[in-house]
A and B are shown apart, each in its own frame.
Chain A
C-alpha cells in the first residue's frame, strides 16, 4: 500500500503509519500481526482514540503527536512512546511493557493496569492509577484528585503534588509523593520510608529517567482498616 512507508536507517528499520492517510483500525490490525517485531512510527494521530491498543509483542512504537482516549491500552511487552499529551485512560489495563507520555495525561491514566510501567513526564489529572492492580506509574508533575483510588497492587510515584483524596480505600499499592498532598482519602496514611522502600523508589525513578533523592519522598499506604466490614468502622464506610 502506498500509504505505508518503510524507512531503513543504518541501525534499524522503522515502519511508519500516517493516521491522516491510513485508517486506525488498519494500523492497530497491523500492530496485532502474529510474530511482530521491529520499530514503528505513528504520525498524525490528531487526538484519535485507541491508538496502539492491544499490542502484544516486544516492539517499539513511537506516536508523534497528541492522542485521545485509551492510547496504548491493554499493552503487553511493547515499549510505546507518546510524543505529546494523552487523553483519558492512557495505558489502561496494561499487562506489561512500558508506556511513556512526554506531555500531560488526562484522567484515569493506567486504570486497572496489572503490570508494566507508565511514565507521564507532565501532569496526570484526576484518578491516576485508579484500581491499579500491579503496574508501576511514575508521574513527573502533579496528579489530580482521587488518584490511586482503590489501588490494589503496584507502585505510584508522584514527583510533584497530589490532589484531594489520594489513595482513597487503598489496598496494597504503595504510593510515593515528593510534593504536597491536598488531602488523603479514607484509610490512606503516611508511612515510614524503610531502606527497602528507598531502594524500591530509587529503582522506579531510575526506570523513568529521574535521579531525585528518594529520601525527599513520603510513602503512603493503606491503614488496612477498611478491608472487611467491621461494625466499629461503620462511620468510615
Chain B
C-alpha cells in the first residue's frame, strides 16, 4: 500500500499550524504503511532558516557539532547543524546549493542526502509514523507546504534510503504510492546520462527522472506527462517544489487519491480520512483525480 499526504497552504494565517495539520494527516495514513515514514516541510524558519540553503542528511556517522565543524571547514564559511530526530539539517548563509552539497559530501562522504534547497527540510526514518512524527516534533513545524509518506515496502529494503520523500533536485520532492515496473530500464538510461542513485528504490528512479526533466528546462506539467509515457506501473504521485504542488495518477488508477480544495488550502491524500480534520473541510471541494491528468497548484 503506502499512504501519501500533502498540504499546500494559501492562507498565511494557517502557516503556524502546518506541522500540527500535517501530523494528523500523516498519522491517519499509518494504517497504509508503518515500516517507515518521511515528510518534507517547506518554510519552517527553524529547520530551514530563511535566506539560507539547507541540506537534509541522514546516516552521517557523526553528531551535530562534529558535522557543523567538518562542513564549515569544507565550505570555508560557517555552517549550522540542527538535529531533528535522526536527520541532521545543515544550513549556511546564502550559499548556492552545489557548494553546500559538495561541502556536506566532503564532510560526510557516506551520508544520505535526503533533500536540499532553500526553505526545505526533509525528515525520514524507519519506524512507526506516529513515533517518528513525535521524535521530529512535527506538530511544532511551520511553513506553507508539507508532504508526507507512510511506507509499506515492496520494491527495496526497509531503511532510510528506501523511505520517501525522494528529494533529489533543488527544493523538489516526490512521494509515491504504487510501484514502477520498468524502473531498472529507466535507471540504466539515467545512469548512462550521468545520474547517480542513492538506493535501489523504484520511486527514486521516478524522482530522478522528473528532476532530470526539470533540469532540462521543462515545467512540472510537461515533466510529469513525460513520466507517464516513460515509466510503467502503478502510481499516485505527489510532486512538490518550493512553490508548487502537483498530483498525478497512472492510467489504471488503482492507487487511491483524493484532493480537497478551499480558499485557504489545497490538500491531497490517499484517503479522505486523512483530510477529515482539516479546518473548513466540510465546505471544501472534494474530488478524485482523473487518471493521467496533471493537477498542479502554484504559490
Contacts and interface: CB of A to CB of B under 8 A. Distances in A.
Interface stretch (B15-23, B150-158, B270-278): B270-278
A46 B276 contact: yes
Interface in B242-299: 251-254, 256, 258, 271-277, 286-288, 290-291
A104 interface: yes
Interface string A91-116: 00000000000011011000000000
B24 to A, nearest CB: 11
A7 B239 CA distance: 48
Nearest to B257: A106
Contacts, number: 46
Contacts of B251: 145
Contacts of B253: 107, 125-126, 144-145
Contacts of A125: 253, 288
A221 interface: no
A47 interface: yes
Interface in A111-166: 125-126, 144-145
Contacts of B286: 66, 85, 103-104
Given A106-B288, A125-B288, A126-B291, A85 B272 contact: yes
A185 interface: no
In which size bucket is the chain A interface?
A: 10 to 19
B151 to A, nearest CB: 20
B288 A68 contact: no
Nearest to B282: A65
A202 interface: no
A103 B286 CA distance: 10
B271 A87 contact: yes
Nearest to A122: B287
Interface in A19-49: 46-49
Given A46-B276, A104-B288, A145-B291, A68 B254 contact: no
A210 B117 CA distance: 55
A51 to B, nearest CB: 11
A160 B149 CA distance: 35
8 contacts: A47-B275, A47-B276, A48-B273, A66-B286, A106-B288, A126-B291, A144-B253, A144-B290
